[in-house]
Structure 1
Amino acid sequence: MTNHSTVSTAIDAKVAARAMLRHPFYQAWTEGRLSLDTLRDYARQYFHHVEAFPRAVSAVHSACPDRDGRRMLAENLAEEEGIEAGKQDHASLWMMFACGLGENEDAVRGQELNAETEALIETFRRLSRRSYASGLGALYAYESQFPGVATAKIEGLIERYGITDEPTLRFFRVHESADVEHSDVCRDLLDRLPQAERAEAIAAGDELAGALWNFLSGVETRVSIQ
């Protein structure tokens, strides 16, 4: 690689091959071909990833060698954890989404996880603790996709399922903008990585994109799509 910008560009290329919005499960959601029971099943599974995700951000933050980088990642973590006054942590926002679909908190928290859900959580945990470069690559592979995912989810919920109440949509509303900023932070930090660490960041981004794709496949194989 001859310049820093190729790090994020290379991860973007890896992600594009298995982008969440290209997955048949998400396409079926956008087209309104999933039942509400299927959305509830998805919501119960995905909650456990959302709840675990701040720990990955925290690991990347603690491993960051750059003071300015740590400050930016700390702001990301504060948003995830709802530390700012008047803000809710993102796991609580996801629970609001699940409950808006008709779930209850006990059912969501007590959900038996699919093997692919467990693998996603474990992959994020492992990559975020392996090294700073690895964790940063994984974080970027996730957060760079989510603004587009959030917009598509909002449109699908409103237009295909008639779900318009803001508490149910708030998780996605927040991530339409928050993850633009978060992915910009990750991109900036990736562009500062030493040459020797770039390949590891790219490989981690590729692996995490695969784990996200497999998570959706795990949900898809257990439900019927119209």
Structure 2
Amino acid sequence: MHLSSAIEDLVKTRSLLKHPFYQAWSKGELTLKDLQGYAKEYYYAAKSVPVVMETIRKNAPHTLTQIQRETFAKNAREEVEHIELWERFASSLGITQDELNVYEPTQTVKDAVTLIVEQAELGFEEGVAAMYAFECELPAISESKISGLQKFYNLNSADAHAYFNEHMAEEKHLCFWRALLDHFGEEKYEDCLHTARGTVAAQNILLDGVIERYMPAMSCGCA
């Protein structure tokens, strides 16, 4: 099995769409405060993705072609631009930039983001696997989120949808990661799967952190 396919199968077993927070989102069970809390917590993660990309770039082998390097640089720039798109989403929920800037995320969220960054630090191949695991479900997740925002929360503005619309078109990034993954040597196969597994676990933990602070009844199983 191709490494990219193995990672996709792994992601499906811990799909974020199965997480209680996203389940509540898709059923219209979140309050505005819940959405605002999520937007503020996830801002910490959105700002960290360019850090992951820079870590991967530093570990890139000299064997990468010029086209691959240019594509990577373009993707990295887009990850920086995504931060502004997330700020627009937060604004659509009534969150000011000052609120985002001073917000202190939960330790659980901080630890989850640190874990993702640490996966990328293990090596170039591991970093690519981490980013593929991080991104491969984003089109489906983004489509689900937009549907929920429209159906249940009356959030239909361009600002509310911009970040998610961008990630519904994530295929160009995914193709790049797949092309790299499926040419890695067999000796890196298990290491990359281990890294992908850690990344998916961290993404789930991040959502756990949102629930802990904003939906404690769900966290303890009392809801």
Offset of residue 182 of structure 1: 0.9
Query: Deviations for 1:34-88, whole angstroms, at most 9, x for unmatched residues?
Result: 000000000000011101111111221332221243232222112122xxxxxxx
Offset of residue 202 of structure 1: 0.9
CA contact (8 A) 1:8 1:187 kept: yes
2: CA distance, partners of 1:112 / 1:59? 24
Letter in 2 for 1:142: F
Q: SS of the residue aligned with 1:39?
A: helix
1:182 aligns with 2:178: no
Q: SS of the residue aligned with 1:192?
A: coil
2: CA distance, partners of 1:109 / 1:102? 14
**Greater CA deviation, 51-60 or 27-36?**
51-60
Offset of residue 204 of structure 1: 0.5
Could you tell me the TM-score, scaled by structure 1's length?
A: 0.90
* Structure 1 runs not aligned, ≥5 long: 82-88
Structure 1 segments of 4+ aligned residues over 3 angstroms from their partners: none
**Greater CA deviation, 111-120 or 155-164?**
111-120
Partner of 2:156: 164
Q: How does 1:129-148 map to 2 (within 5 A)?
A: 129-148=121-140
2: CA distance, partners of 1:63 / 1:76? 16
CA contact (8 A) 1:49 1:121 kept: yes
1: CA distance, partners of 2:213 / 2:76? 33
* Structure 2 runs not aligned, ≥5 long: none
Seq. identity, %? 28
Q: SS of the residue aligned with 1:221?
A: helix
2:50 corresponds to which of 49, 54, 69:
54
Partner of 1:201: 192
Query: Deviations for 1:123-173, whole angstroms, at most 9, x for unmatched residues?
Result: 122111220111011000011011111111111101110101112211111
1:64 aligns with 2:55: no
Letter in 2 for 1:74: A
The root-mean-square deviation of aligned C-alpha atoms, in Å, is 1.4
CA contact (8 A) 1:69 1:189 kept: no
Could you tell me the TM-score, scaled by structure 2's length?
A: 0.91
Partner of 1:76: 75
Q: SS of the residue aligned with 1:130?
A: coil
